[in-house]
Amino acid sequence: MSDAGLPRLDAERPDIDSIRRGCDLVRATFQRVRGEIGRAVVGQRRVVDETLVALFAGGHVLLEGVPGLGKTLLVRSLSEALQLDFSRIQFTPDLMPADITGTNIVARDEGTGRRAFCFRPGPIFSQLVLADEINRATPKSQAALLEAMQEGTVTCGGETRPLPAPFFVMATQNPIEQEGTYPLPEAQLDRFLLKITVPYASRREVGEILERTTGSYDTTPRPAMDAAFIRSAQELVRELVVAPHVQDYVVRLVLATHPGGVYHPDAIRNMVAVGVSPRGGQALITAAKVVALMDGRYGVSIEDVRSIAHVTLRHRIIRTFEAETDRVETDELITAIIEALPRTDGGDAA
């Protein structure tokens, strides 16, 4: 599929009609991609939608769920529906950074017969990268991937090489097996736009999975989008409007996660050790823009922000020992903050 149908935007004077046509096209294509992924992935509608939100927002995703829930299948199906170059990196304790980024090797020049160093790119040089069980690799190898995610480049042998665009990392981790794992530090978790939890399938979904996978069904997703379309859609998302009162709500929501802050709810005092950084606010607004676009609107509402808050903030809040001891989940803290935070600020607190 070509992006010829997606109107190009003038960086200085974007045309309103072209923005509307572009949003309609992106929304329709979103529905097509969702349907194609549904050929292979049964259920998990929320997981698929949140993954596509991260894609159009230009961020990366951390998928967390027990084995066998279709996390790897989702990523493979996404690569087929989006026509993106795909690579999978199986993270293990003996994985080295060069196994991810690539390395310089000695090769013979066929023309001159001389030997010289040349760069052999690693699997990170793909448009869609599956980092499978990322918490099983050592911090050094984790850092190699996360640095590439943040910078969009890889430096080797004194030369910096850009990664392909779009560049989308989907990392998976198992929440129950902790032996032999290296949990991601908070600073590295912050590199992911969204942390998506993958739930168990329902009774109906399990039955449909068994029927599809043991029968003669064709579950291969058909192409519905390409890299050029995705890049244009990501540019289009940034043209959506965020009203001042919505941006102020995001600011107060971020500040409400800070322990001891003026907006921090009394109900969760002593339960939050570290709150959300400004990067979390950026993630909230960008993801909320995609949510609004998919709902057929060109401006972000407070409801859009609230609907995406848990998946955007759950990996950016650090609980206190007291909260962990009482088994208070991070999602419960976010819910308490949202319920206590007024939609408008009537005070002068700064």
Quote the pLDDT of residue 346: 61
Which spans in the chain are helix H?
A: 16-40, 45-57, 71-82, 97-101, 139-151, 186-189, 203-214, 227-237, 244-256, 278-294, 302-313, 321-325, 330-340
Phi-psi bin for 2: left (phi > 0), alpha (psi -120 to 50), beta?
Answer: beta
DSSP 172-205: EE-SS--TT--PPPHHHHTT-SEEEE-PPP-HHH
Greatest pairwise CA separation for the chain in angstroms = 76
pTM of the model: 0.84
Instruction: Confirm if 227 and 163 have CB atoms less than 8 A apart.
Output: no
Q: Which residue has the tokens 């996660």?
A: 257
Instruction: Confirm if 104 and 156 have CB atoms less than 8 A apart.
Output: yes
Q: Which residue has the tokens 């509402």?
A: 301
* CA separation for the pair 139, 349 (Å, rounded): 40
Quote the pLDDT of residue 244: 93
Q: Buried b / exposed e across 133-166, counting CB within 10 Å, b at 16+?
A: bbbbbbeebbbbbbbbbeeeebebeeeeeebeeb
pLDDT in tens, the chain (350 residues): 444 444 444 444 556 777 777 888 888 888 888 888 877 777 778 888 898 899 899 889 998 877 776 777 788 888 888 888 888 888 888 888 888 888 777 777 777 777 777 778 888 888 888 988 888 888 888 888 877 888 888 877 677 888 888 888 998 887 765 666 778 888 788 889 999 988 777 788 778 777 777 766 667 778 888 888 888 888 888 888 899 999 999 999 999 999 988 888 888 888 998 889 899 999 999 999 999 988 888 889 999 999 999 999 999 999 989 888 888 899 999 999 999 998 887 654 44
Helix axes 244-256, 330-340, angle to 10 degrees: 130
Quote the pLDDT of residue 7: 43
Evaluate the omega torsion of the peptide bond into residue 265 and state whether it is cis, within 30 degrees of 0: no
Name the residue type at position 63.
L
What are the structural domains of the chain?
Answer: 240-342 (1.10.8.80)
